[in-house]
Amino acid sequence: MKVSYFPGCSLDGTAIEYNESLRWTSEQLGLDLQELPDWNCCGSSSAHVTNDKLAVSLAGRNLLIADKMDMDLMVPCAACFHRLKFADKALKSGQSVLGSNQSYQGNFKIKSSADLIWENVGEKALTAKVRKPLTGLQPVCYYGCLTVRPPRITDAPDPENPMAMDEIMKALGADVKNWSFKADCCGGNIMLTHPELAKKMVKKLLDMALEAGANCIVAGCPLCQSNLDTRQNEILNQNSQPYNLPVYYFSELMGLAYGDPHLENYLNKHLTDAKSLLAQKGLL
């Protein structure tokens, strides 16, 4: 099955492990990711607070490229997903891309990576590929806010309780824990401008993950994963110790279940130890 693919800037740099694990996993599932040719930055997180026309045009140019390909579009980054969904609605309402006279049809679906895999591949195919069930892993799935809210932009059927990553992890054999914070904000890019506030937001998520009985967190957003993974040595739990709670991309754990030979390369890029838990559970 061919789908178009917009990796975005993060997956070409700081979140390259997400890009590589997602591409490998998609190939195993029969998804042929067709990267948008000559794609550009979607403008997040600066254009939309600077210039409305620029914000629509940066994301909209990518949509014009996707329009010609006429396939469902996979967007792994939550911020990119949000900006492309916003631009899609703006273009359909009559706005245009600066410097282009191409008309926009938009007869394709824009989906987050987890939603596309769950909806287009399905549970039966996901389960059939499992070589190493994720027995012993007790994750909470963290979606963050931008893939689900506001629903008038994201079209999320249940913005308070998204389920695609939960269902994927269950299909792979993980004991997924329920929690009420899967769509709460991690602070996003205010980690750079107001770090103390953002750390409080991250601490709440880490505390609630432990309260839910989780031994790891599963994410599908580069910024969310970074905030939760990289700040744990600075944010101490009630016993004044680092949390040491691994934060995996869902595609990394899919690769683990399917036998991705590059898995350890991905895990080595995490700041919080991502290998000890897997070794302890006999998965690595």
**Residue whose tokens read 């991905």:** 266
Mean pLDDT, rounded, for 123-138: 98
CA distance 144 to 149: 9
Angle at CA of residue 126, ends 145 and 25, nearest 5°? 70
At residue 114's C-alpha, the angle toward residues 110 and 120, to 5°, is 70
What's the confidence (pLDDT) of residue 244? 93
Single out the residue in 86, 114, 142 at which a domain terminates: 114
Residues 188 and 247 in one domain: yes
Looking up residue 48, the CATH number of its domain turns out to be 1.20.1050.140
Q: Domain total for the chain?
A: 2
Distance in angstroms (rounded) separating the CA atoms of residues 276 and 213: 18
119, part of any domain = no
Domain co-membership, 103 together with 17: yes
Rounded to an integer, the average pLDDT of 154-168 is 97
pLDDT one-digit tens code per residue, 91-118: 999 999 999 999 999 999 999 999 999 9
Q: Is the pLDDT of residue 83 over 80?
A: yes
pLDDT for residue 239: 77
* Domain carrying residue 84: 2-114
What one-letter code names the amino acid at 259? Answer: G
* Residues in CB range of 77: below 8 A, 6 or more apart: 7, 8, 10, 11, 15, 221, 222, 223
* pLDDT for residue 45 is more than 90: no
Is residue 194 domain-resident?
yes
Count CB-CB contacts under 10 A for residue 132: 14
Q: What's the rounded mean pLDDT across residues 189-214?
A: 95
Q: Do 103 and 206 fall within a single domain? A: no
Q: Does residue 196 carry a pLDDT above 80?
A: yes
Q: Are 232 and 108 in contact (CB under 8 A)?
A: no
**Which CATH number does the domain housing residue 185 bear?**
3.40.50.11810
What's phi and psi for 14, nearest 5 deg?
-65, -25
Furthest C-alpha separation in the chain: 60
Q: What is the SS3 assignment for 119-170?
A: HHCCHHHHHHCCCCCCCCCCEEEECCCCCCCCHHHHCCCCCCCCCHHHHHHH
| pLDDT band, very low/low/confident/very high, at 238 (cuts 50, 70, 90) | confident
150 shares a domain with 256 = yes
Contact status, residue 235 vs residue 199, Cβ threshold 8 Å = yes
- The whole-number pLDDT of residue 46 equals 78
Q: What is the pLDDT of residue 209?
A: 97
Residue 150 has pLDDT above 80, yes or no: yes
Scanning the chain, the segments in alpha helix (DSSP H) are: 8-11, 16-28, 52-69, 78-92, 113-120, 123-128, 151-154, 164-171, 190-193, 195-211, 222-230, 250-258, 263-267, 276-280
Cβ-count burial 226-252 (b if 16+ within 10 Å, e if not): bbbbebbeebeeeeeebbebbbbbbbb
Clarify whether residues 238 and 135 are in a common domain.
Answer: yes
Asked if pLDDT for residue 61 goes beyond 90, the answer is: yes
Contact 23, 252 (CB under 8 A): no
